[in-house]
Amino acid sequence: MSENRAYEVLDSITEFGRNRWLIKCPFCGSTVWAYTWSLAGSGKRCPGCGAKHTWEHGTVRREGK
Mean pLDDT of 19-42: 95
Whole-structure pTM value: 0.84
The residue among 65, 29, 31, 58 whose CA lies nearest residue 43 is 58
Mean pLDDT of 14-40: 94
Domain that holds residue 50: 2-62
Mean pLDDT of 2-7: 93
pLDDT, residue 64, reads 65
Q: Specify the number of domains making up the chain.
A: 1
Other Cβ atoms within 10 Å of 21 Cβ, number: 21
The mean of the pLDDT values for the chain is 92
Per-residue pLDDT tens over the stretch 54-63: 988 899 998 7
Q: What are the CB-based long-range contacts (under 8 Å, 24+) for 38-41?
A: none
Contact 17, 27 (CB under 8 A): no
